Amino acid sequence: MERKVNVPEDVEVEVSDRGLKVSGNGNEVFKKLQHPLIEVELENSNVVVRTKKDNKKIESICRTFASKIDSAVKGVTEGFEYRLRVVYRHFPVEVNVQGDRLVVSNFLGERENREADILEGVQVKVDDEDIVVSGADKELVGQTAANIERKMQAPSSKDRRVFEDGIYIVKKPGKEG
């Protein structure tokens, strides 16, 4: 099985035995793509992912590698963006970015601040009740958005029908809504 991923002219791809580095528009994404039965090569303006053995499991890994490469190319050219919304009814919250952490104070009237990790290479912008998480690496951007959403859920001891407070993902890359 063979999968080809087209690489635009303004994007540079370096294939090594450790993985694949994609760079362009001032962004850089590194993907660790190693498997003994899969080859990743650069041919002309394509990255070719080949299996050395025909097997359903190996072919699924090949498709996954090709998808990760395609996402890396899209990430350095266009980038990825998640949008989150701050929802509160009972206590007004304050959301700030401090270094590599998103800090939320007065969540459900709690005295302690809640903090979520912002992964390396990901930018977070807070605009009133909207939060924009963006970056070139789709996995890191998605994980940062998930970190924020997970840390800002109301505790299970609170009735979810009454306490709807939290920070929720409202728009994902490639999805309208």
So what CATH class is 80-171?
Answer: alpha beta
Scored b (16 or more CB within 10 A) or e, 149-164 reads bebbbbeeeeeeeebe
To which CATH superfamily is domain 2-77 assigned? Ribosomal protein L6 (3.90.930.12)
Closest C-alpha among 88, 148, 93 to residue 124: 148
Q: Where in the chain is the domain with CATH 3.90.930.12?
A: 2-77, 80-171
pLDDT, tens digit (0-9, with 9 covering 90-100), for 100-116: 999 999 888 888 999 99
pLDDT digits (tens, 9 = 90+) for 68-87: 999 999 999 999 999 999 98
pLDDT digits (tens, 9 = 90+) for 41-73: 999 889 999 999 989 999 999 999 999 999 999
Q: Note whether 163 and 88 are within 8 A (CB).
A: no
